[in-house]
C-alpha cells in the first residue's frame, strides 16, 4: 500500500513528537471569544450577546500566552466565536507575534476587509483558516444568518493574492449539502486548499442538540462525495480498496496510538483555552478542566496532562477491525454518549457507511 497523504509539515509532526516525550505544550488554542456575527445552528460555542460576562481581557490572554510560551508553546491558534469581533484583537495578536510564536487565526472571513485586511497583509499570521459555509448568498442567509458569501470570497482572494497562507475549513450540514460541488469549485478557482468534514460534534458545551447535522449515513455519503471531488479516479480507487481492507488511508499526525486512552495530542502536547479562562484538552470536550489564571499556566498544564492521561475510551474501539479508518476519539465518545468509555453509535454507523459508499462508487466506476 502507498504511504498515506500528509496534511501537516514534517517539522510540526516532529515537534509534537518531541513535545510528547518531554511533556511540553507545543500548541495552544486560544478561544478569544464566544461572540460571533454569524448564527450557525451547529456551533459548539456561540453566544449571541454583544457582551459576554466572564470573557478574558486582553491583558489576561497575553499573560497566559506568555506563560505558555515559557512552558514550551510554539504554535498558537486564535479562534472563537469570531476573533475579529474583539476590539482589542490587534493588541492580543501583536503581543503574541512579538513573543515569537507561530500565530494562526480561525475566522469566518466576513470581517476581513478595510483596515482589518490591511493590518493582516502588513503583519500576516503564520496561517489563516477561513470557514467557507456555502457557495451562494442564499446558503449563507439560511446557515449563518446573513448574506456574506461575496465578502468572504473576496477576503479569501485578497489574502491568497497577497501571499498569506490561507486554508479553507468546510463544515458540511443539511444547510449547505447542496453546495458541496460549488464549494470545491470555488477552492480550485481561488487556488486554496480546502478541508471538509461532515461529522459535527454534538454541541454539549452550549447545551445544544444534534438536530442541525446530517444523519450518519448522509454524513458518510457527503464525505465520500468530497473524496470524489478532491481525488483523481486512481487515488479514489486506491482509497476505496484501503477502506474495504480497513487500512489507514491518511496519516493520523495528531494520533499517538490507538489504545484505550486519548489517542490525539489533546492534553499531551496541545491545550484549549476557553473564552472564560477554563483550560481543556480539546475544545469539543466539557472536561477535564483546569484554571490557569488561578493556578498559573505551568501547574495547570501538568494537572491537565495527568487528568487527560486517566481518560479511557471504549475497549471495543481499540480492537475494532475498522479502527484504522474510524475517527472515533475521546471527544466523539463523550459528546455522543456522555462518557469517554462508551461506544458512539453515530460514529460507528458513519464509518461503516463510508466504507460501503466508497466501495459502491468504486465498483460503479469500474463498470462504467
Q: Which residues of the chain have pLDDT under 70?
A: 1-8, 47-51, 251-259
Q: What is the pLDDT of residue 331?
A: 94
State percent of the chain over pLDDT 90.
Answer: 81
Give pLDDT tens digits for 237-275: 999 999 999 987 775 545 444 567 887 899 999 999 999
Q: What is the pLDDT of residue 256?
A: 43
Phi, psi of 238 (to 5 degrees): -60, -45
Q: What is the pLDDT of residue 261?
A: 80
Q: What is the pLDDT of residue 11?
A: 77
Give pLDDT tens digits for 88-146: 999 999 999 999 999 999 999 999 999 999 999 999 999 999 999 999 999 999 999 99
Gap between the Cα atoms of 244 and 41, Å rounded: 34
Q: What is the pLDDT of residue 64?
A: 98
Gap between the Cα atoms of 362 and 368, Å rounded: 10
Q: What is the pLDDT of residue 12?
A: 84
In the Cβ-directed half-sphere of 107, how many Cα atoms lie within 13 Å? Answer: 26
**Greatest Cα-to-Cα distance within the chain, rounded to the nearest angstrom:** 64
Q: Are 41 and 143 in contact, with CB atoms under 8 Å apart?
A: yes
- C-alpha cell of 239? 482509497
Amino acid at each position: 500500500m502507498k504511504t498515506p497523504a500528509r496534511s501537516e509539515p514534517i517539522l510540526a509532526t516532529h515537534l509534537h513528537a518531541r513535545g510528547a516525550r518531554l511533556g511540553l505544550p507545543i500548541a495552544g488554542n486560544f478561544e478569544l471569544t464566544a461572540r460571533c456575527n454569524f448564527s450557525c445552528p451547529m456551533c459548539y460555542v456561540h453566544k449571541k450577546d454583544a457582551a459576554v460576562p466572564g470573557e478574558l481581557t486582553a491583558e489576561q490572554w497575553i499573560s497566559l500566552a506568555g506563560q505558555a510560551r515559557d512552558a514550551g508553546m510554539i504554535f498558537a491558534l486564535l479562534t472563537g466565536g469570531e476573533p475579529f469581533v474583539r476590539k482589542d484583537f490587534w493588541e492580543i495578536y501583536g503581543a503574541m507575534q512579538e513573543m515569537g510564536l507561530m500565530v494562526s487565526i480561525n475566522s469566518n472571513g466576513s470581517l476581513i476587509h478595510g483596515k482589518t485586511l490591511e493590518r493582516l497583509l502588513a503583519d500576516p499570521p503564520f496561517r489563516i483558516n477561513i470557514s467557507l459555509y456555502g457557495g451562494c448568498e442564499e446558503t449563507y442567509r439560511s446557515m449563518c444568518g446573513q448574506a456574506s458569501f461575496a465578502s468572504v470570497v473576496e477576503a479569501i482572494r485578497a489574502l491568497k493574492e497577497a501571499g498569506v497562507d490561507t486554508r479553507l475549513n468546510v463544515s458540511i450540514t443539511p444547510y449547505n449539502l447542496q453546495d458541496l460541488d460549488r464549494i470545491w469549485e470555488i477552492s480550485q478557482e481561488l487556488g486554496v486548499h480546502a478541508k471538509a468534514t461532515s461529522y459535527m460534534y454534538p454541541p454539549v458545551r452550549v447545551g445544544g442538540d444534534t438536530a442541525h447535522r446530517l444523519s450518519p449515513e448522509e454524513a458518510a455519503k457527503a464525505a465520500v462525495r468530497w473524496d470524489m471531488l478532491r481525488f483523481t479516479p486512481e487515488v479514489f480507487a486506491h482509497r476505496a480498496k484501503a477502506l474495504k481492507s480497513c487500512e489507514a488511508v491518511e496519516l493520523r499526525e495528531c494520533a499517538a496510538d490507538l489504545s484505550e486512552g486519548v489517542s490525539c495530542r489533546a492534553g499531551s502536547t496541545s491545550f484549549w483555552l476557553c473564552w472564560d479562562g477554563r483550560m481543556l484538552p480539546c475544545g469539543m470536550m466539557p472536561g477535564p478542566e483546569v484554571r490557569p489564571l488561578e493556578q498559573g499556566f505551568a501547574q495547570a498544564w501538568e494537572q491537565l496532562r495527568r487528568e487527560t492521561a486517566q481518560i479511557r475510551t471504549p475497549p471495543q474501539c481499540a480492537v475494532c477491525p475498522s479502527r484504522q479508518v474510524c475517527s472515533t476519539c475521546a471527544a466523539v465518545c463523550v459528546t455522543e454518549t456522555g462518557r469517554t468509555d462508551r461506544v458512539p453509535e453515530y460514529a460507528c454507523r458513519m464509518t461503516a457507511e463510508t466504507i460501503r459508499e466508497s466501495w459502491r462508487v468504486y465498483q460503479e466506476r469500474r463498470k462504467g
